[in-house]
């Protein structure tokens, strides 16, 4: 490696030390009930806010060139948000505050205007730091529960499917004019802007909405002074999670004016939330708050020697590639354990990539006996120190904070 590169890289490493993983958050125990807590509930005055960094996730592409280009080519930025947590005997509540100068509301009928939104994600049953679910979507046997709240215009979805106002054939207005007006009035009177959803996922393409009421959560979003405040409360324990000690949580926000939706968003890594007064999970806190032990400068050399950037775009100067997900910002939201697993066991979690029909020559996986098998080279032959070094290097790959 030439001198300029080496010194640039050590500079990069020095910077990342300063922007290390987000610290653990403490959820304060309160005696007030957190059932259906709102943004303006008085109990929030007891909460302490911590800064959490949300990184642009670039692994997922959509069939929308413009949105992809906005996410990929326009230098995407990381975003700082403030997070506070509380818990009572029954529920955990989180408040997320983030700056957003444009209040974007999802409009039911239009397809090119997207609403702002936020999500809070909980790792299902895991207590093992090395076996956290894949961030954002969970992984096989390691489910996540995702609470999503979006800013929408008024909608009415009595069957939990689509807004009924959009399910009407409006061609026949001449015949149904009076009935249609009555119908529209009825829908408007029942509609509300509370677009709240809960999902469970165990890997890509497994996202399933929980509609049977088995999760008793409540969330809302309020926009004031160019800032969104999102709140969520949910049970500490239900069919999907059992939150005790140290709880891995992740936060995502969508910015509608940047065409953010679905996979294109800003996402935090797993954050350790300690339930005040309970026994913390020291191994989990260590995994989520300390930098990996490898040598990032060496890791860059090992990655180059092993041809990682033959398939991946890693540095901004590498060409974009259809072969594999971009790793330009992978260090922001991925845990060290996940990165290690990606290298030595590529098929443990398979990022499915582009629409396979559109890019059939460069699939990111093949189906073997119904199982997705990654097309990535298996690097399990690498020594432990080499893998540690690559992981340390990948963890330095983060977008700048806006």
Candidates 59, 83, 191, 215; binder of ligand HEC (CB under 6 A) is: 59
How many residues are recorded in the chain? Answer: 402
CA geometry: angle 100, 106, 110, nearest 5 deg: 135
CA geometry: angle 162, 167, 173, nearest 5 deg: 155
Candidates 95, 288, 343, 399; binder of ligand HEC (CB under 6 A) is: 343
DSSP for residue 383 = -
Nearer Cβ to ligand HEC (144/303)? 303
How far is residue 270's CA from residue 249's CA, in Å, rounded to a whole number? 5
Candidates 324, 336, 392, 399; binder of ligand HEC (CB under 6 A) is: 324
Candidates 81, 339, 397, 399; binder of ligand HEC (CB under 6 A) is: 339
Helix, strand, coil percent content, the chain, rounded in steps of 5: 25, 25, 45
Non-local CB neighbours of 50 within 8 Å, separated by 6+ positions: 22, 23, 25, 82, 83, 84
The reply on whether position 142 binds ligand HEC by CB under 6 A is no
Nearer Cβ to ligand HEC (232/302)? 302
Question: Which part of the chain contacts ligand HEC (CB under 6 A), choosing from 46-54, 87-95, 201-209, 319-327?
Answer: 319-327
The reply on whether position 330 binds ligand HEC by CB under 6 A is yes
Tokens at 171, concatenated: 């061609």
Question: Which part of the chain contacts ligand HEC (CB under 6 A), choosing from 166-174, 201-209, 246-254, 309-317?
Answer: 309-317
The reply on whether position 296 binds ligand HEC by CB under 6 A is no
Count other C-beta atoms under 10 Å from residue 269's C-beta.
Answer: 25
Look at the alpha carbons of 386, 325, 59, 206 in this order and tell me if their dihedral is positive or negative: negative
The reply on whether position 206 binds ligand HEC by CB under 6 A is no
Q: Kindly state the number of chain residues that form the binding site for ligand HEC, as judged by CB under 6 A.
A: 29
How far is residue 224's CA from residue 323's CA, in Å, rounded to a whole number? 43
Residue listed under structure tokens 């405040």? 229
Shortest Cβ 381–ligand HEC spacing (Å): 11
Residue listed under structure tokens 């280009």? 69
Candidates 91, 233, 374, 396; binder of ligand HEC (CB under 6 A) is: 374
Candidates 221, 376, 392, 397; binder of ligand HEC (CB under 6 A) is: 376
The reply on whether position 269 binds ligand HEC by CB under 6 A is no
Q: List 248's β-bridge partners, or say none.
A: 272
Question: Which part of the chain contacts ligand HEC (CB under 6 A), choosing from 95-103, 162-170, 289-297, 307-315?
Answer: 307-315
Q: Across the chain, which distance is largest between two alpha carbons, in Å? A: 78
The reply on whether position 144 binds ligand HEC by CB under 6 A is no
The reply on whether position 321 binds ligand HEC by CB under 6 A is no
Residues 334, 399 contacting (CB under 8 angstroms): no
Q: Smallest Cα–Cα separation from 213: which of 244, 184, 240, 183? A: 240
Shortest Cβ 5–ligand HEC spacing (Å): 18
**DSSP notation for 8-28:** HHHHHHHHHHHT-SPPPEEEE
Shortest Cβ 292–ligand HEC spacing (Å): 13
Nearer Cβ to ligand HEC (139/152)? 139
With helix as H, strand as E and coil as C, how does 131-151 read?
HCCCCCCCECCECEEEEEEEE
How far is residue 160's CA from residue 90's CA, in Å, rounded to a whole number? 27
Candidates 56, 76, 256, 346; binder of ligand HEC (CB under 6 A) is: 346
Shortest Cβ 57–ligand HEC spacing (Å): 8
Non-local CB neighbours of 102 within 8 Å, separated by 6+ positions: 116, 255, 256, 257
Shortest Cβ 267–ligand HEC spacing (Å): 11
Shortest Cβ 326–ligand HEC spacing (Å): 8
Nearer Cβ to ligand HEC (124/346)? 346
Interaction site with ligand HEC (CB under 6 A): 59, 303, 306-308, 310-312, 323-325, 327, 330, 339, 342-343, 346, 349-351, 364-365, 374-377, 379, 390, 394
């Amino acid at each position: 490696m030439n001198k300029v590169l080496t010194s640039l890289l050590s500079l990069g490493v020095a910077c990342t030390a300063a922007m290390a993983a987000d610290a653990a958050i403490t959820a304060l125990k309160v005696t007030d009930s957190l059932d259906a807590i709102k943004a303006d509930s008085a109990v929030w005055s007891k909460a302490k806010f911590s800064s959490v960094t949300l990184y642009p996730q670039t692994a997922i592409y959509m069939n929308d060139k413009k949105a992809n280009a906005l996410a990929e080519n326009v230098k995407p930025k990381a975003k700082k948000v403030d997070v506070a947590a509380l818990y009572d005997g029954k529920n955990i509540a989180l408040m997320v505050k983030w700056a957003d100068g444009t209040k974007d509301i999802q409009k039911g009928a239009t397809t090119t205007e997207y609403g702002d939104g936020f999500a809070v994600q909980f790792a299902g049953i895991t207590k093992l730091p090395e076996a956290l679910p894949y961030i954002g979507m969970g992984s096989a046997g390691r489910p996540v529960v995702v609470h999503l709240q979006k800013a929408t215009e008024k909608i009415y979805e009595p069957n939990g499917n689509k807004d009924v106002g959009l399910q009407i054939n409006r061609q026949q207005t001449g015949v149904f004019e009076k009935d249609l007006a009555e119908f529209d009035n009825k829908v408007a009177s029942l509609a509300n802007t509370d677009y709240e959803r809960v999902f469970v996922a165990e890997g890509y393409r497994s996202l399933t909405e929980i509609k049977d009421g088995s999760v008793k959560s409540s969330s809302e979003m309020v926009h004031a002074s160019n800032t969104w405040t999102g709140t969520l409360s949910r049970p500490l324990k239900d069919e999907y999670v059992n939150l005790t000690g140290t709880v891995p949580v992740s936060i995502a926000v969508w910015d509608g004016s940047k065409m953010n939706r679905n996979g294109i968003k800003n996402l935090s890594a797993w954050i350790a939330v300690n339930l005040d007064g309970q026994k913390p999970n020291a191994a989990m806190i260590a995994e989520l708050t300390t930098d990996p032990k490898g040598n990032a400068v060496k890791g860059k050399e090992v990655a180059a020697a092993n041809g990682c950037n033959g398939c991946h775009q890693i540095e901004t100067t590498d060409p974009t590639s259809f072969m594999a997900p971009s790793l330009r910002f992978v260090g922001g939201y991925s845990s060290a354990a996940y990165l290690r697993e990606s290298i030595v066991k590529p098929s443990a979690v398979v990022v499915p990539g582009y629409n396979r029909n559109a890019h059939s020559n460069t699939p990111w996986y093949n189906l073997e006996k119904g199982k997705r098998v990654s097309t990535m080279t298996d690097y399990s032959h690498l020594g432990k120190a080499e893998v540690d070094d690559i992981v340390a290097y990948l963890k330095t790959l983060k977008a700048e904070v806006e």
